[in-house]
């Protein structure tokens, strides 16, 4: 990891007792200036529409955008007790479903059991994972016409 960047994963009981605590290394990915400017512009535009000129002043004084993308962009707790963490969102990293080399962009997931990483999985970028059960990942994909489909992918070792 760059500069020892790490994030924590803590599993708690319902009473708040710690079952597992793990620290995982990651490579910070900077948010490009043009992405931050676009976000800032959309928020400022909305605030100005709602609050008038005061909205722009309030946003400019209060909006603090992160310098890096988060190391985890989604977490799903599977029925077998494993924790699935989406570590790299292919849409963020590639900013498209198809990469320059012609291959489809993927989301990279890590699977943890009892605080230890046991596997890594690649799934199609943009798949919204809803459940992991009986050797399958269930989710929703959207096609090029924004039509959603419920899909199931088998998990192969």
pLDDT grade, residue 3 (50/70/90)?
low
Q: What pLDDT score does 17 carry?
A: 95
Closest residue by Cα to residue 122 from 103, 105, 109 = 109
Look at phi and psi of residue 81 and say left if phi exceeds 0, alpha if psi is from -120 to 50, else beta: left
SS3 31: coil
- Write the pLDDT tens digit of every residue in 88-123: 766 565 444 555 555 567 888 999 999 899 999 989
Range in 48-57, 107-116, 120-129 with the lowest mean pLDDT: 48-57
pLDDT band for position 18 (cuts 50, 70, 90): very high
Which candidate, 36, 126, 39, 128, places its Cα nearest to that of 90?
126
> For the stretch 53-86, what's the b/e string if a residue is b when 16 or more beta carbons lie within 10 angstroms of its beta carbon?
eebeeebeeeeeeeeebebbeeebebeeeebbbb
CA gap 72, 84 in Å, rounded? 10
Residue carrying the six token digits 């400022």: 44
Asked if residue 151 lies in contact with residue 138, where contact means CB atoms within 8 angstroms, the answer is: yes
Strands 83-88 and 74-77: antiparallel
Closest CA to 72 of 39, 109, 36: 109
pLDDT at residue 95, as a whole number: 46
Per-residue pLDDT for 154 more than 50? yes
């Amino acid at each position: 990891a760059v500069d020892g960047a790490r994030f924590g994963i803590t599993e708690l009981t319902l009473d708040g007792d710690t079952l597992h605590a793990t620290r995982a290394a990651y490579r910070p990915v900077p948010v490009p200036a043009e992405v931050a400017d676009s976000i800032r512009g959309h928020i400022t535009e909305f605030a100005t529409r709602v609050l008038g000129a005061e909205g722009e002043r309030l946003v400019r004084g209060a909006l603090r955008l992160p310098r890096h993308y988060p190391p985890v962009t989604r977490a799903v707790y599977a029925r077998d007790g494993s924790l699935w963490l989406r570590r790299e969102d292919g849409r963020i990293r590639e900013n498209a479903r198809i990469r320059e080399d012609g291959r489809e962009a993927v989301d990279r997931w890590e699977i943890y059991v009892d605080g230890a990483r046991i596997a890594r999985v690649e799934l199609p970028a943009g798949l919204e994972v809803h459940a992991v059960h009986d050797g399958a990942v269930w989710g929703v994909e959207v096609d090029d016409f924004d039509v959603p489909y419920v899909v199931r992918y088998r998990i192969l070792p």
